[in-house]
Amino acid sequence: MKCRERQYFRDNRLFSGATHGRARRQLTDNRIKALKPQAKPYLVNDDNGLSLDVLASGKMSWLFRYRQSGKQERVKLGQYPAMSLKTARAARDAKATEVAEGESPALAAKLARAGLTTNPTVREFAERYYKE
């Protein structure tokens, strides 16, 4: 195939550069159970930003990866055996709705870990200001 022909296929969406012409496979429960830990952590993608992070220790965590304001962010949804594939997809849809509304789930999770709220009242802000 000549270079011009390849460019034509890419421009007309006949060639999918992300998957190199192969169809993407969604995760299934059997595929997840077959995943083995490797020397380095790796990600296995589902679709619409849902990924499974497989650590060298064998632990698996669900991640929702998204891009907001040109910056890639990610938020952890839960551990694999405790959170099923169906539950992880539902959680991903809820987080995607937050992103579509302009909110950042990663920032909200970071503030929750720090014990802060995303929209403090004037009283909460003043109390925190005077404490610090």
Amino acid at 105: P
Q: How many helices (H) and strands (E) does the chain have?
A: 5, 4
Which class does domain 3-131 fall in? alpha beta
Query: Model's pTM, two decimal places?
Result: 0.68
Q: How confident is the model at residue 113 (pLDDT cuts 50, 70, 90)?
A: confident
Average pLDDT score over residue span 22-45 = 85
Angstrom distance (rounded) from CA 21 to CA 78: 32
pLDDT digits (tens, 9 = 90+) for 65-87: 999 888 899 999 999 989 999 99
Strands 60-68 vs 71-79: parallel, antiparallel or unpaired: antiparallel
Residue 50 vs residue 12, higher pLDDT: 50
Q: Any idea where the domains of the chain sit in the sequence?
A: 3-131
Angstrom distance (rounded) from CA 9 to CA 21: 11
Which residues does 6 contact at the CB level (< 8 Å), separation at least 6?
A: 15
